[in-house]
Structure formats: C-alpha cells, structure tokens
Amino acid sequence: MRRSLWVFLPPFAVVLFVLIAHQAGIGFARADFSSLAVMIGLAVVLAALMLALLRERLSRAVERALIWGLIALLVAIGYAHRFELHGVANRAIAEFVTGRAATAGRMVEIERGSIGSFPLTAQINGARIAMVLDTGASSVVLTQEAARAAGLPIEVLAYTVKIDTANGRARAAPVTLDSVAVGGIVERAVPALIAQPGHLRTNLLGMTFLSRMERWEVSDDKLVLRGYP
C-alpha cells in the first residue's frame, strides 16, 4: 500500500500545485481555469493508471487509479466552483441562524427575526457588532460598548447632535466609521452617531449605510440589500 501511494501521489501533487498557483494568481485566466482543472483531473486518471500498470496487477491498478483519479477530479471541480458552493452553504446556514447574512456577490439576504425586526451582525472597523435594521434612523447609531469595540476614541467625543431614542431625547457624537460591512457589502467612510452612555440598548443600521445601496427591500420576510458593483 505504501508503494502504491508513491505511485499516485506525484500526479495528485501536480493538481494541488496548479490549484495553489491559481489561488496565488500565477499565470491562469479565471475564465479558463474550470476547464483546465477538469482536464488536469482526467490527465491524472490516465497517468495514474499507466504508472500503476507497471507495478500492480491490472485489477488492483484500475481500482486504485480510479479512486485517486476520482479524488483529483473532485478536488479540481470543487475548487473551480468554490464560490457557488460557498454561496449555497451560506444560504443554507442563514435559513437557520438568525441575523446570519446570506451573501451572493454584492447582494445580501437576512431573515426576519422572531420579534419582527431584522437582526444582523456587521463588521465595523473590523469588529463584529450586533445590530438591527432601522429605516427610521437617519444614521448608523452605536452604543458606547460597540464604539469601544470598533476602536473609536469615546473619551474625547463631543455629543453635539440631538437624537430620539427609546429612552427619550438624548445627544450623540458624530463620527466617521472607516468601514461597515454586512455580508459581502463593504462601505467606507460611513457617517455614524455614538449615543451617550445609557441611552441606547441596540445598535442601529440606519440610512447613512442604506442610502449607499443600489437597492434594498423587504420581501417574503427577508431583507435584501444590493450594493453597487
């Protein structure tokens, strides 16, 4: 068995080398890679069969060549279609995990939560922040805790903007967020407000983010966001 592995590992290593080279951007056009991957897989089947015939009986050679060839083909085809497979898996997870964004390119879908709102997890300045969609909020609004997690200098903020919250009138500090990402949609230099301590319980994804979308809508209990290309 150990000797057989040495027979089949070299062609299999060739496939892995080509896949890694493509990932690093070495010498292959994306449009041609799917067909190239399948061709390499077929070549591995033939090469493995020929090498095995020199060392093993025909029946065992064919069996092992087919096994290794099938593995090579699955790796090549799976890699060539990795983005589609990732999208399918992401959508399946989003169906069961509240707030999980199902991403397909620059389009994001989020399931409605149990209390009727759209909870989601955004990446703000690289930090994972739990938020709720609020179309009535003119801006992205963050709590003190979220602002601290996002690396904002809350000690020197000036609370000069009046806002209405569930706890009544309050003041907020205007800031500019380096980045706000929801699924595959990333927006830079997003204006936001930081609420005074104790005046906001939930981070709000408001219009300073939503207004940058090409389109957004609620359809069949799903929030659909489409960013510009």
Q: What is the model's pLDDT at position 31?
A: 44
Q: What is the model's pLDDT at position 196?
A: 92
CA–CA gap between residue 123 and residue 119 (Å, rounded) = 13
- For the CA atoms of 89, 90, 94, 96, the dihedral, rounded to the nearest 10 degrees, stands at 30
pLDDT single digits (tens) 71-121: 776 776 665 555 444 444 454 444 444 445 677 778 888 888 877 789 999
CA–CA gap between residue 196 and residue 200 (Å, rounded) = 8
pLDDT single digits (tens) 38-72: 566 666 666 666 666 555 555 666 666 677 767 77
CA–CA gap between residue 128 and residue 124 (Å, rounded) = 6
Contact 157, 142 (CB under 8 A): no
CA–CA gap between residue 132 and residue 157 (Å, rounded) = 23
In this model, does residue 127 exceed pLDDT 80?
yes
Cα-based angle 171, 182, 149 (whole degrees, multiple of 5): 50
Q: What is the share, in percent, of the chain residues with pLDDT greater than 90?
A: 37
Residues across the chain: 229
User: Which comes out higher in pLDDT, residue 46 or 214?
Assistant: 214
Provide DSSP, the chain.
-HHHHHHHHHHHHHHHHHHHHHHTT-S--HHHHHHHHHHHHHHHHHHHHHHHHTTS-HHHHHHHHHHHHHHHHHHHHHHHTHHHHHHHHHHHHHHHSTTPPEEETTEEEEE--TTSS-EEEEEETTEEEEEEE-TT-SSEEE-HHHHHHTT--GGG----EEEEETTEEEEEEEEEEEEEEETTEEEEEEEEEEEPTTS-SSEEE-HHHHTTEEEEEEETTEEEEEE--
Backbone angles phi, psi at 33, to 5 degrees: -70, -35
Q: What is the model's pLDDT at position 103?
A: 72
Q: What is the model's pLDDT at position 146?
A: 97
Q: What is the CATH number of domain 98-227?
A: 2.40.70.10
Q: What is the model's pLDDT at position 177?
A: 97
In this model, does residue 141 exceed pLDDT 70?
yes
The pTM of the full predicted model, rounded to 2 decimals, is 0.57
Q: What is the share, in percent, of the chain residues with pLDDT greater than 70?
A: 58
pLDDT single digits (tens) 146-183: 999 999 999 999 999 998 876 678 899 999 999 999 98
Residue type, 20: I
Query: In the chain, where are the structural domains located?
Result: 2-80, 98-227
Q: What is the model's pLDDT at position 112?
A: 85
Q: Which of 121, 138, 107 is nearest to 224 (CA)?
A: 107
Q: What is the model's pLDDT at position 161?
A: 94
119 to 54, 102, 206, 218: CA distances (angstroms): 62, 13, 13, 13
Residue type, 79: Y
CA–CA gap between residue 210 and residue 215 (Å, rounded) = 9
